[in-house]
Structure 1
Amino acid sequence: MTSDKTIEMRDGRGMREEQPAEVLDAVGTRSRRGRRILIGLLVTVLALVLAAAAAIYMLTESLGNNVSRVPDAFAGIPADARPAASSGKTFLLIGTDTRSSDPTTGTDAPAGVQAGSQRSDVIMLARVAADGSAAAVTSISRDSWVDIPGRGTNKINAAYAFGGAPLLIQTVESLTGVRVDHFGVIDFAGFQEMVDSVGGIDVRVAAATSNAGVDFHEGLNHLDGAQALAYVRQRYDLPGGDLDRAKRQQNALKALLTKAGDDLSHPVGVYNLVDATSRTVSVDDTLTNGGLRDLALEMKGLRPGGVTFTSAPVAGLGREGAQSVVYLDEQAGPRLWAAFRDGTMAQYVAAHPAEALSGAPH
């Protein structure tokens, strides 16, 4: 049975045309149904996005809560003695020379362990560009003979033992003219766990050596955590001694960054590394969970190729009393630190290629 109801319409040429009401009702129903489906899809997509954002927030908040904080890392440093702030963020990263196989940094460290109870074995300044596209890492030899505020002249690694993070930060800022924004510390046990969390690292060695029962052959070596620890701790039988050890430490860090970059497409691998890092590294208490999230977002596009590795220029080696020391180059040093502050380390390394980390250090 058909309806006698029609509705007058005009076609695309302006001609009058009558259509049955049922046809128009069906068209309107399909149109409304289509809108409802589209709106439903948009709501579903929005819900998924919000759920993903909530999951990311909860995950980073949870991992951020794992990170041990070093209290009052900047306490007592005279404000008028500090260098001016610059774009980007600068971190003072150190590794302690405790020989304990048990953790002394991170959340697993006993409560009684004091942050400055050991000398610093690894001292690196790392600067990340404001847009996260590039970074620079410069090592300072632990035996560098420098002025330690209030303590006279001594090896730079003594500053951490004398006064913990604040005195080491003040010493490094006085030496370099670079303002330190954040501080991080890890021990040998933590480094070993980080390497194992990514399934080991690959490093190139210039010539065959051995240390702590581990043999390193010339060329590419795949190292697990224990082997990597033996690699970065070796200084004897290396031509440059402690200077070559600092280069090995940079080489291991570069290999770790490379492995982490390779794992970006594998969420489980990334999580394992971030989880290990959050439990083994201690950072200053001004670096909040939100700050960690912001830093991760800023650095998401950073790749190992965008990181330059250098060392503070050295004038020579010598002795002060019974101590073997490193004398820093007072002419070349300021040029490097100026480039570091200005974010022009890539240009600096291009002009001074001999100061860059080689692909296969000793």
Structure 2
Amino acid sequence: MRADKYQRKKKRTWLKAIGIILLLLIIGGGVFVYSIYHSMRSAVETMHKPVKSQNSRAGELNFGKQQPFSVLLLGVDERKGDVGRSDTMIVMTVNPNKESVEMLSIPRDTRVEIVGKGTQNKINAAYAFGGVEMSMNTVQKFLDIPIDYYIKVNMESFSDIVDALGGVTVNNTLDFSYGGYHFPKGQISLNGKKAINYVRMRKEDPRGDFGREERQRAVIQAIIDKGASFSSITHFSSIFQALGKNVETNLTFDEMVSIQKNYKNARKHIEKYQIQGQGQMINKIYYYIVPESERMKASDRLKSHLEL
């Protein structure tokens, strides 16, 4: 079974979302500050969606004490008449003491126990069965770590954020055409529609999903860089509007401000990796099977980063 069969649709749009949110919070100076602050608060109030997940953390999380915390990043395709599934799932742990962020990708086809259903299924089915809450509980049990927060991004309309920034520029390493657009090698500029087609192409890439992941990371990094630049201040109203439409999170505005204040150094080192396993057919259904030894390795690594 080819790797692209179990790594489809890894649209890591969540990193762009949280990156833009956190980085824009530290932009200051000039007559824009008052408007930025209130526009940001309004956008976050729109995005804020509390959940009743079963957090296994012992005691309350205190940002003032710079405690490491975790976030489940979900990329969801939600279309009319369809609940959708979380086709992208990344667990992000943030540790200001180690000045680092770790991001663990969980393939959508990973076979796990769906908490609340009591059945074995693909991990992305948790969202279809029980939304964000069931997804958080399922990932928490699978990795045996507390999941403190979530950020959910609507994958169908993430191009709004690219357009809100006025487009992005990436270095393209593969000449290809997709979705009616041609993407030559070298530095290319992408608007929202071009960006979503640029990251969706898979079959023409000799590296399959691995190549697509590389393009996704390039676009995400370009979005973060553009969002952090001073020139993006002129687009702040459109950026916040796009975030408010396409992002949901249980983080409050005050918590985001506290993260910005106490966790700035954590952005110095960002490491991405994927839980290891292999494809297997069970009852004519494809699953990504993670051996217990690999699950424990990933769990121990995250626990260490969370200082648990």
TM bucket normalised to smaller? 0.7 to 0.9
From 62, 65, 68, the equivalent of 2:42 is: 62
State which of 84, 89, 92 in structure 2 corresponds to 1:123.
89
Describe the shift of the 1:125–1:246 C-alpha distance in structure 2 as closer, same or farther (beyond 3 A): farther
What SS does the aligned partner of 1:259 have? helix
Could you tell me which of 149, 153, 167 is aligned with 1:182?
Answer: 149
Q: 1:268 to 1:54 in 2, by over 3 A?
A: closer
Shift of 1:176: 1.6
SS in 1 for 2:51: coil
Distance 2:36 2:174 in 1: 45
Query: What's 2:261 paired with?
Result: 297
User: Does 2:304 match 1:342?
Assistant: yes
Q: Is the 8 A contact 2:72 2:151 kept in 1?
A: yes
Is 1:135 paired with 2:101? Answer: yes
Distance, in Å, in 2 between the alignment partners of 1:52 and 1:279 is 22
CA deviation vs aligned residue, 1:183-241 (integer Å, no higher than 9, x gap): 11111244111111222233344433443233333444432211221233333334554
Assess if the C-alpha contact under 8 Å between 1:121 and 1:157 holds in 2.
Answer: yes
1:318 maps onto 2:285 in alignment:
no
CA distance in 2, matches of 1:341, 1:153: 24
Alpha-carbon shift at residue 301 of structure 1 (Å): 5.5
Question: What is the Cα deviation at residue 94 of structure 1?
Answer: 0.9
Q: Indicate how the Cα distance of structure 1 residues 265 and 334 shifts in structure 2: closer, same or farther if over 3 A, else same.
A: farther
Secondary structure at the aligned position of 1:235 is classed as coil
Partner amino acid for 1:268? T
The 1:73–1:244 alpha-carbon spacing in structure 2 relative to 1, beyond 3 Å, is farther
1:172 corresponds in structure 2 to 139
Structure 1: tracts of 5 or more residues without a match: 1-48, 101-112, 345-362
TM (norm. structure 2) is 0.72
Residues 223-238 of structure 1: pairs in structure 2 closer than 5 A: 223-238=190-205
Aligned residue in 2 for 1:259: 226
Q: TM-score, normalised by structure 1?
A: 0.63
1:95 to 61, 75, 79: 75
In the alignment, which residue of structure 2 is the partner of 1:14?
A: none
Contact 1:83–1:177 (CA under 8 A) maintained in structure 2: no
Whole-Å separation in 2 of the counterparts to 1:340 and 1:226: 36
Say which of 293, 299, 302 aligns to 1:331.
Answer: 293
Q: Which residue of the other structure, out of 48, 51, 58, is the alignment partner of 1:72?
A: 51
CA gap of 1:269–1:330, structure 2 versus 1, over 3 A, is farther
Task: Report the counterpart of residue 113 of structure 2 in structure 1.
Answer: 147
Q: Which runs of 5+ in 2 are unaligned?
A: 1-28, 62-66
Kept in 2: contact 1:99–1:188 (CA 8 A): no
Q: Percent identity?
A: 25
Change (3 A) 1:223 1:130: same
**How far apart, in 1, do the equivalents of 2:171 and 2:111 lie?**
30
User: In the TM superposition, what is the alpha-carbon distance from 1:310 to its structure 2 partner?
Assistant: 1.9
Q: Distance in 1 between matches of 2:122 and 2:92?
A: 21
Letter in 1 for 2:46: N
What per-residue deviation string (whole Å, max 9, x for no partner) do you get for residues 283-312 of structure 1? 12xx22211222233455665x53222222
Distance 2:261 2:272 in 1: 22
Conserved in 2, the CA contact under 8 Å of 1:250 and 1:309?
Answer: no
Q: Distance in 2 between matches of 1:213 and 1:300?
A: 41
Question: Does the CA contact (< 8 Å) of 1:97 and 1:121 recur in 2?
Answer: yes
Number of aligned residues: 270
Within-5 A mapping of 1:15-94: 58-67=38-47, 69-74=48-53, 77=54, 82=56, 87-94=67-74
State the 1:126 CA deviation: 1.7
- Residue of structure 1 equivalent to 2:3: none
- Per the TM alignment, residue 277 of structure 1 is displaced from its structure 2 partner at its CA by 1.9
CA root-mean-square deviation: 3.4
Larger radius of gyration: 1
Per the alignment, do residues 53 and 197 of structure 1 end up closer, same or farther by CA in structure 2, a change over 3 Å counting? closer
| Range 165-174 or range 266-275, more displaced | 266-275
